[in-house]
Structure 1
Amino acid sequence: MVIITSRNAPCQSFMIHTISGSDAKERIQTIRQLRHPNLTENVEVYTSSDPGYSVISEFMPTSLLHLCRAPIYPNEPQLSSILYQSLLIPLKVLTGLEFLLNCSLYYKRLSCVNVFVNFASEVKIGDIENCRRSGDIAALATSFGRLTMKLMDKERVETASFGLKHPNRWSNEAINLFTSIIITFNVKKLLAHAFFLKKNQEKLV
């Protein structure tokens, strides 16, 4: 992935990456059909000299991986905002996942690397071309569970069995949400979880 700057708008940056392989055309067709506030926006698609495509998308300055590597843990309003935006649509990772599932698309490799955060405190899912028309909801549940575990416990490696070394750092609501994610993954029920009453995007600095 490369960061580029527009000649017409020098202050505006974009990300560019390539998509190749036997299924490249199908993957490009997928991203052309998807637009959502919690998905990174793809601005242009070009055919490249090599077999494949170059995709220019909006610039997202950081990812959840940076947050996980930082010594300071997110507080509960920040954790709530990140997970809620990731799961839903205009509400982030859960929102974005719900939108993709409604489009019959499965994101099996969701991780801290491909969930981005911009300076407006918006959380967006990237690498949408990796979604597939068929898949196992259990694989999505596992990847989202591991993403949540990494945000709540920096000492755990993503491949470790589910668990938290220091559950005392979190409230009962946060622990209950984590348990719900790894035991009964249901996007609609998770979005209605009491923990998300704490979300506050303005606090996600």
Structure 2
Amino acid sequence: MNADILQRCRKAFGDDDADTLLTAINLASDLRELHRFEEALELTTDTLARRRRLLGDDHPDSLDAAIGLALSLFGLDRFAEAREHDEETLHRCRRVYGDDHPSTLIAANNLARDLRLLGQFAESLDLYEDTHARHRRVLGADHPAALASASNLAIGLAAADRLEEAVRLGEETVERSRRVLGADHPYTRRSVQYLAGHQEQLDARP
């Protein structure tokens, strides 16, 4: 659907029109959902370049495209490149929005994930902990974004071999998710899966 709309927008409004670029971003997101990361990367790279040229590096639309570009790199297992982009985007988001803005927290979480997958567990965990604390303070412990960040922090704890803490946080997150979102919500189901993985790791210890 978005591919057809993008072609129509390009024909009607041109490649640099705001609606054309928004449609391109939405199509790139669709492509990532389909694991078509090369296509998503190509489209997001082009869109980011256009938005930066038209709007500047620090415009919210440019920052949104930069987050998408790093996600596409991450999907291709290009973690070091994703980290470089996420570090730059987090720096810009903090300067433009402040430390507690949702876009800043998304960028921080993405960078924490990159660091974890690059084996930089201590740095990753510090960032996960800070991001989760900000989510809880700004949104409340039961907010879906705070619950997602709790799951991410538990993953970071497990990666740092702090499995008991990962299990405890995972149990708390599952309980909150079931109460707030319901047992069938995707966040709840993911939390259950993560908790099972942490518990399995803990049980496998000699």
Normalization by structure 1: what TM-score? 0.31
Higher relative contact order (CA 8 A, sep 6+): 1
Structure with more helix by fraction: 2
Structure with more strand by fraction: 1
Normalization by structure 2: what TM-score? 0.31
